A and B are shown apart, each in its own frame.
Chain A
C-alpha cells in the first residue's frame, strides 16, 4: 500500500524534531530512512505507526487519512530495536497474539503461526520463552509476529542494531528477501549506511528533522546533494573542496588540477546553490582519485601523511599545503613522507551544496 507523508511536523515542547517532511512511498517499496540519532527518522516512523501524533501535517495509508488513527486501526506491523516481545509468553503465544486480539479461530491461528514460524526457521523454538532465545532468534520472532497477520505496511525501527556485525549481515539479506517476496510496503529506519545501501529501493537521508535527499542508493552515493549526505554516506567520506563557478560553466577549487565542467543537469542544480559564501563545494569519492607518479602530467603532487592497508583496499591520507584529503586505492608501495601525484578525473568530480546553502523553490 502506498503511504503519503505530507508536510508533517512534530514538536516536543519547544523541541522541533520533524520539520515538514513530505514523501510519497510507493506500493511494495522498501523505503529506508537513514540518519544520525536525533535526526527525526524514528519519530517520523512512529507517526506513521500512530504511536506519536504529528503537530501538523497529514499521513495517509492507501489513500485513507490515517493522521490521527489509533495504531490498531492502521493495519501496520512493526519490528522494534529491542524486539518488544512479551516476556511472559512463549514464542508461539507471541506470534499468535495479534491473531488472538482479532479473535481469529483457534485452529486457523495455530496454522498461521506454524506456517510463519516455519518460514522464519522458528519451528523448533515455539515453546521457548523469549529469555531463552539469542538476539537473532528474538528478532526473528518479532518479524514472525509482524508478518503473521499479513499487514499492509511493515515498519522497522533499527531492528538489527542490537545484533553483532556478522549476524546483522545475515539478517539483512533475510529480511530483504522475505519482505520483497511478500511485496509488503516497508519503511526501515537505520543509522547504518551499509544496511541502507544494501536493502533500500530508495533512501531518505535525514538531518535535523528534514529529508535532505530522497533517491535510490546509488544516486545518493554518486550524486550527494549536500555536504551532510556526502559525508554521512561512504567510508571514508567524500573529499570536499570549497569551489567557484568560472565563466563558461567550469567549476574550480583550490587545487587547480581538480576542475569540472558542468553538464546541463548540474547547471540547474548549481543555480540553486547560494554562491560566493562557500556555498558551493566540489567533491570526489576517495576511490575515484587515481595515484600517479609525482610531477606527472595533470597530476597534483601531494605529501603522504598516513597509509592504512585494509587488505582489500588501502587508504592513503595526503596533504597539499593546508588541504587534506584521502585516497582509496589497491595495494600501494607509498609510505608516509613520500610525495605522490594525484589525478582527479573531471567527469567523476561532483558539485555539492554546503549544508543550508540550497535555495528551495
Chain B
C-alpha cells in the first residue's frame, strides 16, 4: 500500500518536472536563439544544420550603430518614451487620487470612459493623427509620439494607481490632517512615500508598452523621430535580411524592459490587469 503510494507520487513528480521543463524550454528557446544569433557572424548564422557552438562576435552590435543609426533611435526612444511616461504618470496619478478619495459626480462613468482608451485600436486614431500632424508641421517630430504614448498610458495609470491609493487606509491621511497637515502636505509627506512602490511598478508597465510600440511609431515618423522598433523593422528588407543585425536590435531593445520588469515583478500582475487582480 505505502509502496504503491510512494511510487505513484514519484511518478507524478516526474511527470510534473517533465512538463514544467518542456514548458520552460518552449518559452525560453526563442529567446536563447535571439540572443545567440545576435552574437553570430554572418557565416554562422546562415549555417545549416545550425551551429550550437561558435565564436561570439560583437560585429552585429557594432553595425547597429554604424548602419542603422541606432544611437539616434536609442536617444529618440528614451526621450519620447521617458517624457510620455512622466506625463502619463503625473496626470494619471492626479486623476486617480481624485477618483479614489473624493466624491466625484459620475465617478464610475468617468473611470470607464478613461478605460475605454485601452480598448481603442490605434489603427483608428493613426490616420487623423497623421493628417493633423502634417497640418501642424509636427509630423516626424518626437512631440506627436509623446502625446500618443502619454494618452495610451493614461488608462493604466489611472486605474492601477486608483487601486494602489485605495489600498492606503483613509485613516492614515485623516490622521495626518489632524496632526496638522494641509491636504497637499498630507499627500506629499504621507501618501506619496507609501505610493512609491506602486508608482514605480505602474511606471515600468507604461514604459514597457510605449517602448515596445511599433504601429504608431512606424507611421508617424519617417526619418528624424524613428524609435528602436522602427529601425529594427528596417533591418528586414524583403530580399536581403540582416538576421544577425536584426537579432542584435531585438536584444538591445528588449533588454531594458526585461530588466526593469523583473525588478518590479511583485506588482506586475496588479498593473497588467489594471489593478483588478492582486499579485
Q: Do chains A and B touch in the complex (CB under 8 A)?
A: yes
For the residues of A in contact with B, the DSSP-based class is: loop
The interface residues of chain B lying within 8 Å CB-to-CB of A70 are 177, 182
Q: CB distance A71 to B172 under 8 Å?
A: no
Indicate whether A101 sits within 8 Å of B174 (C-beta atoms), given known contacts A84-B169, A88-B194. no
A98 touches B171 (CB 8 A): no
Residue of B nearest to A13 (CB): B103
Given contacts A85-B175, A145-B179, 8 further A-B contacts (CB under 8 A): A50-B177, A72-B178, A84-B169, A86-B176, A86-B190, A87-B172, A98-B179, A101-B180
Q: Mark A131-142, 1 if CB is under 8 A from B, else 0.
A: 000000000001
Give the complex CA separation of A85 and B185 in angstroms.
Answer: 16
Any B CB within 8 A of the CB of A221 = no
In angstroms, Cα B172 to Cα A98, docked, is 13
CB distance from A339 to the nearest CB of B (A): 55
Q: Is A49 an interface residue (CB 8 A)?
A: yes
Residues 191-217 of chain B, each 1 if its beta carbon lies under 8 Å from chain A, else 0 = 001100000000000000000000000
Contact of B171 with A81 in the complex, beta carbons under 8 Å: yes
Residue ID in chain B nearest A148 by CB atoms: B179
Chain B residues at the A interface, C-beta cutoff of 8 Å: 169, 171-172, 174-182, 185, 189-190, 193-194
Q: Which residues of A contact B193 (CB under 8 A)?
A: 88
Residue of chain B at shortest CB distance from A12? B103
Q: A78 near B178 (CB under 8 angstroms)?
A: yes
- Nearest Cβ distance between residue B196 and chain A, in whole angstroms? 9
Main SS at interface, chain B: helix
Which chain B residues lie closer than 8 Å to A86 at the CB level?
A: 172, 175-176, 190, 194
A-B contact pairs, 8 of them (CB 8 A): A51-B178, A84-B171, A84-B172, A85-B175, A97-B179, A101-B180, A101-B189, A149-B179
The 10 A-B residue pairs with the shortest CB-CB distance, nearest first, are A84-B175, A84-B171, A98-B179, A101-B180, A80-B171, A71-B177, A72-B180, A71-B178, A78-B178, A84-B172
Nearest A residue to B196 via CB reads A88
Q: Pick the contact of A76: B178, B181, B189, B194 (CB < 8 A).
A: B178
Would you call A49 and B169 a contact (CB within 8 A)? no
Residues of A contacting B182 in the complex (Cβ-Cβ under 8 angstroms): 70, 72
Known A72-B182, A82-B169, A86-B190; judge A97-B176 contact (CB<8 A): yes
- A78 near B174: Cβ-Cβ < 8 Å: yes
Q: Is A31 an interface residue (CB 8 A)?
A: no
CB neighbours (8 Å) of A72 from chain B are 177-182
What chain B residues lie within 8 Å of A85 (beta carbons)?
Answer: 172, 175
Q: Taking CB as reference atom, which chain A residue is nearest B190? A: A86
Knowing A72-B180, A88-B193, A98-B180 touch, does A80 contact B175 (C-beta < 8 A)?
Answer: yes
